[in-house]
Chain A
Amino acid sequence: MITATLNEYLILSGVLFALGFLGVLLRRNTLVIFMSLELMLVASALALVAFSRYNHTLDGNVFVFFILTVAAAEVAVGLAIIVALFRQRRTIQVDELDSLKH
């Protein structure tokens, strides 16, 4: 059985985080940006779990519980905002959501 080392977990976590960040940077759809944000969150959660296992402590796992709880609430609020935004403006493309400036 192939056992993954800490390095591989952290590399995976970094790749996921980078993907999420690039998604936030480059995508124009608010929903996708939102999903990318979640990906970044999950990437950090993965790193925490990996550290927890490697150190044989539960600290990281406890952190992840909290992160998942907060993330669930955050997703609920964030999605609600996006839905409300869509109802208001009939679009969720960030290029068109520039009324703060114009």
Chain B
Amino acid sequence: MTMLSHALFVLLLPLGSAAVIALFLRRAGAIASILSVVTATAIAAIAVILALHPERFEASMEWLRLGDFSVRLGVKYDDLAALMLCIVGIVGLCVQVFSLGYMHEDGAKARYFGGLSIFMFSMIGLTLADNLFMMFIFWELVGYSSYALIGHWHERASASDAAKKAFITNRVGDFGFLLGIILCYWANGTVNLTELGAGHVSSRLIPLLLFCGAVGKSAQLPLQVWLPDAMEGPTPVSALIHAATMVAAGIYMLCRINVLMVPDALTVIMWVGTATAVYAAFCALTQRDIKKVLAYSTLSQLGYMVAAFGLGSLAVDHHGHRLVIAAGVGAAMFHLTTHAFFKALLFLGSGSVIHGCHHEQDIFKMGGLRTRMPVTFWTFTIGVAAIIGLPFLAGFFSKDAILYLAYANNRAVFAVLALTAILTALYMTRLWRITFFGEPRSEAAAHAHEGGPTLTLPLVVLAVLAVVGGYRAHYPAGFEGVFSQVPEAEGTDHLVILLTSLFVLAVGAGTALAFYRPAATDALEDQAPGLYRWLAAKLWFDELYGYYIDKVQQRGAMLLNYLEQIFLAGVIIRGLAGLVGLVGLGARALHVGRLNVYVYWFLFGVVALWLFATGVF
């Protein structure tokens, strides 16, 4: 088999699995879950084989032709796609294995695993897409599968509401994305990524419109509202879709269209990412739900990646001559990689905790899980250490790369990102301390227990990846195209960055350790209720949108509906029907069923004809 057929196989495999589950295995949850996991294993294996093979290729075929306009489907497999495919494959496998245990009792397992399969298909398609139209198709498909999986427990109103919110909020961003694609096609005559790379019209509007898609999918300000609510879905789904892969698709898409970027657009992207990073970090401080803390942490880290991308290129010294590298792509993708590992680990760890505590999600009702769930505790600890940037773990390296890039390009962003890092250390240590230490503060936590091997094994695998994920020199050579772009500090810059990251870590984690005790109430709420309430309000985004939709949009819609009822349905449609009815009523009155009357009409007709013939009228 050629590598191209490998790529097509890895794309179509999960689609086949989803189709088989949907058509034949709807009642057979156990078989469906095994089929899905076997598929995921094959995907992960093929993804690694493809990445290790030195061949990189492109191929496409025409799918639709309308006059001069043609839509092509194709595969662009470069180092970037290879890296993303490996992340999707490996994290996907871990999550599916974890789901075997986590969803064991669920009544709709077939639907769940079918959803995961269709998600894998969509995500792989998005990864391999060689043009923006194809990317948009799979972009919408991941949105759909995310919708279906958030609403998996659709009998809960909050879950189905969250699913709708996620879908609709994403649609807002996707509209901009679609406009961007159309504009790109209009301006350049092509949406093929390679052809765009070879030459394109420089425009500020196109990259910004395309960025709208990333704002929706990667939950950046101001469309971040859906991601915390998406935690209504099953926890493995949150790990796979709303932490490791789908929300990272926005970053991946930005890296794909890197060639279209212009400095002004990059500045906007940088500030949006920076604002999201610090905003979400503040929000995470007051959350009580273990998954919500992780959700805001994800938002914050995604903001980091977007900011890293927006920081753009960097000129580096390379053996004596200056070399400009796409440092934004390198730093963003590097952080995406490590984040996928440690955030999936943290989410699966929280899933293990939730599973152990019988679906208790309030961290203030946990406590004492350190001894009761040792595997979860240790792997979760590694995850926390990785995200707060403890030296020699994955997050340390990727965060340093971003901080260095910010330091070199924009000091204001550097300061905000450093503040975000302090907050990250603060809220993650808070979460870790309150969840695992002290005495159990509820019946559920007191009887918590470790799940089976399907729950712990993925945690261990991801923990290993979270430890080693930062050593990019030891990655296979197949990712060189991405990792060679990662900025690396040298000399005094290196020292500054190292000291900064150690400083923010010490301040953040130290404050958390000193301030938060494993207790039934939030220390910040007790000591500074005003500040706590202000932070918990999350800048009133939800209220603002609620007000807008309820008071502005809904009333506009009512007005339009009123006009429609009066004019369109009332005057035009009912008016026409009434007119015809009136004519019918008159015509019906002539038809009385009596012969004599018809004869009179006949006479009338003859007289009329005669008058006409004689020229009276």
- Residues of chain A within 8 A (CB-CB) of B594 are 94-95, 98, 101
**Pair A101/B592 contact, Cβ less than 8 Å:** yes
**Pair A101/B600 contact, Cβ less than 8 Å:** no
16 pairs of residues in contact across A and B, judged by CB atoms under 8 Å: A24-B599, A25-B596, A25-B599, A25-B600, A28-B596, A33-B595, A94-B594, A94-B596, A97-B595, A98-B593, A98-B594, A99-B593, A101-B591, A101-B592, A101-B594, A102-B593
| 8 extra A-B contacts, CB within 8 A, seeds A25-B599, A94-B594, A100-B593 | A21-B603, A24-B599, A28-B596, A33-B595, A94-B596, A99-B593, A101-B591, A101-B592
- Residues of chain B within 8 A (CB-CB) of A25 are 596, 599-600, 603
**Would you list which residues of chain A between 38 and 87 have a CB under 8 Å from chain B?**
none
The 3 closest A-B pairs by CB, nearest first: A101-B593, A98-B593, A94-B595
Per-residue CB contact flags for chain B residues 586-598 toward chain A (1 = under 8 Å, else 0) read 0000011111100
Nearest CB in chain A to that of B593: its residue = A101
- Residues of chain A within 8 A (CB-CB) of B599 are 24-25
- Residues of chain A within 8 A (CB-CB) of B596 are 25-26, 28, 94
Per-residue CB contact flags for chain A residues 22-38 toward chain B (1 = under 8 Å, else 0) read 00111010000100000
- Residues of chain A within 8 A (CB-CB) of B600 are 25
Per-residue CB contact flags for chain B residues 569-600 toward chain A (1 = under 8 Å, else 0) read 00000000000000000000001111110011
CB of B599 to closest CB in A, whole Å: 5
CB of A65 to closest CB in B, whole Å: 26
Bound CA span A95–B603, Å: 19
Bound CA span A101–B596, Å: 14
Bound CA span A21–B606, Å: 12
- Which of B592, B595, B599 is most buried by chain A, counting CB atoms within 10 A of its CB? B595
Per-residue CB contact flags for chain B residues 361-402 toward chain A (1 = under 8 Å, else 0) read 000000000000000000000000000000000000000000
- Residues of chain B within 8 A (CB-CB) of A100 are 593
Bound CA span A28–B596, Å: 8
Bound CA span A95–B594, Å: 6
Bound CA span A21–B604, Å: 13
- Residues of chain B within 8 A (CB-CB) of A33 are 595
Bound CA span A33–B600, Å: 14
Nearest CB in chain B to that of A24: its residue = B599
Nearest CB in chain B to that of A28: its residue = B596
Nearest CB in chain B to that of A102: its residue = B593
- Residues of chain B within 8 A (CB-CB) of A99 are 593
CB of A88 to closest CB in B, whole Å: 16
- Residues of chain B within 8 A (CB-CB) of A26 are 596
- Residues of chain A within 8 A (CB-CB) of B593 are 98-102
Nearest CB in chain B to that of A94: its residue = B595
Bound CA span A98–B603, Å: 20
- Which of B592, B594, B600, B603 is most buried by chain A, counting CB atoms within 10 A of its CB? B594
Nearest CB in chain A to that of B588: its residue = A101
- Residues of chain A within 8 A (CB-CB) of B592 are 101
Bound CA span A28–B594, Å: 10
Bound CA span A35–B116, Å: 90
Bound CA span A95–B600, Å: 15
Bound CA span A17–B461, Å: 112
CB of B12 to closest CB in A, whole Å: 68
Bound CA span A100–B599, Å: 16
Per-residue CB contact flags for chain B residues 148-171 toward chain A (1 = under 8 Å, else 0) read 000000000000000000000000
Bound CA span A48–B312, Å: 109
- Residues of chain A within 8 A (CB-CB) of B603 are 21, 25
CB of B590 to closest CB in A, whole Å: 11
- Residues of chain A within 8 A (CB-CB) of B595 are 33, 94, 97
Bound CA span A94–B599, Å: 12
Bound CA span A26–B595, Å: 10
Bound CA span A102–B594, Å: 10
- Which of B591, B599, B603 is most buried by chain A, counting CB atoms within 10 A of its CB? B599
Bound CA span A35–B336, Å: 104
Nearest CB in chain B to that of A27: its residue = B596
Bound CA span A21–B603, Å: 9
CB of A32 to closest CB in B, whole Å: 12
CB of A28 to closest CB in B, whole Å: 8
CB of A7 to closest CB in B, whole Å: 21
Nearest CB in chain A to that of B595: its residue = A94
Bound CA span A25–B596, Å: 6
Bound CA span A28–B597, Å: 12
Bound CA span A25–B603, Å: 9
- Residues of chain A within 8 A (CB-CB) of B591 are 101
Bound CA span A101–B589, Å: 11
- Residues of chain B within 8 A (CB-CB) of A98 are 593-594
- Residues of chain B within 8 A (CB-CB) of A97 are 595
- Residues of chain B within 8 A (CB-CB) of A102 are 593
Bound CA span A77–B579, Å: 43
CB of A37 to closest CB in B, whole Å: 10
- Residues of chain B within 8 A (CB-CB) of A21 are 603
Per-residue CB contact flags for chain B residues 172-206 toward chain A (1 = under 8 Å, else 0) read 00000000000000000000000000000000000
- Residues of chain B within 8 A (CB-CB) of A101 are 591-594
CB of A52 to closest CB in B, whole Å: 24
CB of B268 to closest CB in A, whole Å: 78
Per-residue CB contact flags for chain B residues 290-327 toward chain A (1 = under 8 Å, else 0) read 00000000000000000000000000000000000000
Bound CA span A98–B594, Å: 6
Bound CA span A58–B506, Å: 133
Bound CA span A101–B496, Å: 102
**Would you list which residues of chain B between 27 and 85 have a CB under 8 Å from chain A?**
none
Bound CA span A24–B593, Å: 16
CB of A26 to closest CB in B, whole Å: 8
